[in-house]
Each structure stands twice: as structure tokens, then as C-alpha cells.
Amino acid sequence: MRCLVANWKMNLLSASAGAFCDALLADPSLAGSSGCQLGIAPPFTLLKQVSEAVRGRRISVFGQNARAEAEGAYTGDISMAMLKDAGCAGVILGHSERRRLGGETDALLAAKLQAAWDAELLPLLCIGETLEEREAEQTFPVLQRQLSILGPKPGPLWIAYEPVWAIGTGRRAEAKQIQEAHAYIRAELMTRMDEAAWRVPILYGGSVAPDNFAELLQIPEVAGGLVGGASLDPAKFMAMAKTAAKTEE
């Protein structure tokens, strides 16, 4: 199965999100292949609007974050159940921007992961090394640490390998670097999940764009992409969706 998820981050308002969904739904190719699972992760304010717009279509809506606690006095935050209530099927967890800007630790993410499973949301766990960690040859230990929160018997999940230095820089990681990281992640999953590990899609994220997506999908173990900047333009998003559908695994 191919996967393509748009991470809108803190972008778009109701008018532009509506125009995005209209363009997406008007594209005849969307009704075609069923082999590419599409996802959109809008900001909180647009979750309900986007979920309602894509209801009944082959598109899942993801939250970009939520709190681990079920409810309570957490001004400004929202819960996993609230994401679900707004129409989400999944939630992005551990994005490097939240690790870096929001101070999210692996311990916190372990609690969020469990909360997502408890709320029957599909976690899309983001992992990846910084440039300093790569240069210090710490990529695999970092990935191992970030994956350790899965515990011995993880529930259903998707993973996105997003090297921090490739995010928003226009500098996509090289094929060999991606292949090595994805193979490492798969092997780590195998130690915890046996055969079920093969059903976990491993997406790549970091400067994915229509002109490099086909090449990306040729790399072994790459199930698809988690896309930031290029996902804000419906024409680019649909171009990538078509590429993914053409190269169904």
C-alpha cells in the first residue's frame, strides 16, 4: 500500500482549505486506484471542515498533535478523543517541530502513543536525526531511542522517517541514506512485532516534492511520503498522489 500524507502545519484558513478540498475532490483520478491511502493533517481549526469535505472518500484526516491526558484543566490543548470527535482517523506524533519547539520528550510521546491507541486513532510516529547527530554517526542510536517508546507489543501505527535537516530545506536525503534508515527501522520493528512489522508503512518526509517523489518511491522500504510545503498546493498534492498510484506496491 502506498501512503501520502499532507502535513499542513500552521498553514491555510477555511477559504483556502475549502478550495484545496474542492480541487482534490474534483480530480477524476481520485476515484481511480485504491492502492494509495491519502491523508491530510490540517491545523485544529480546520479538522471538522476537512473531515466533512472528504467524508466517504479515500482520504483520512490526521491531527497534528494532541495531549495524552483524556480531559482536564489543560488550557489551549486538545485530547485524542477530541480529534476523533472532529473526524480524525489518526494523529501525527513526535514531529521534530514539536520535539524541538514544544519540548516533547520520548517519555511524553510514549504516553501520547498509548493515548492514541486508547482512542482508536492511528498514530503516525515521526522519527529522525538532526544534522549534528548524523555527522556524529548517531543516526541509528537516535532512531533506536525514538522507537523504544513502542514497547514490546505495539498497536497499529505508521512511521515517518524525517531527517530533521531535510525538513523545509529543499535538501531531500539521498536514496542510500533513506534506504539505510528505513531498513534499520524495519529491522527494529521486526524485533517487536514479528510478521506484523511488515504491515507498518514507513513513509519518508523532508523536502518531498512532485519532481522527486517517483524516485523516492523506488527506494526499498519507502511506502510513501509525509509532505509539508508541497502539500499546500492541491495540484502538487494530486500529482504526487498520481505518482504513488502508478507505483503501487
The contact set with ligand 13P (CB under 6 A) reads: 7, 95, 162, 167-168, 205-208, 226-230
Q: Which amino acid is at 48?
A: K
- C-beta separation of 163 from 180 below 8 A: no
Q: Which is nearer to ligand 13P, 190 or 209 (CB)?
A: 209
The one catalytic residue in 129, 162, 182, 188 is 162
Q: Which is nearer to ligand 13P, 2 or 193 (CB)?
A: 2
Minimum distance from residue 114 beta carbon to ligand 13P (Å) = 22
Minimum distance from residue 9 beta carbon to ligand 13P (Å) = 7
- C-beta separation of 57 from 30 below 8 A: yes
Q: Which is nearer to ligand 13P, 193 or 200 (CB)?
A: 200
**How far apart are alpha carbons 170 and 96 in whole angstroms?**
16
The number of beta carbons lying within 10 Å of the beta carbon of residue 176 is 9
Minimum distance from residue 247 beta carbon to ligand 13P (Å) = 19
Q: Three-state SS across 124-182?
A: EEEECCCHHHHHCCCHHHHHHHHHHHHCCCCCCCEEEECCHHHCCCCCCCCHHHHHHHH
Does residue 188 have an active-site annotation? no
Residue nearest to ligand 13P (CB): 228
> Which residue do the cell numbers 495524552 mark?
68
Q: Is 44 exposed, middle or buried (CB count within 10 Å of its CB: 0-12, 13-18, 19+)?
A: middle
**How far apart are alpha carbons 131 and 193 in whole angstroms?**
30
Phi and psi of 157, rounded to 5°? -160, 165
Q: Which is nearer to ligand 13P, 33 or 212 (CB)?
A: 212
Q: Which is nearer to ligand 13P, 133 or 162 (CB)?
A: 162
**Stated length of the chain:** 249
Does residue 129 have an active-site annotation? no
Which residues are the active-site residues? 95, 162
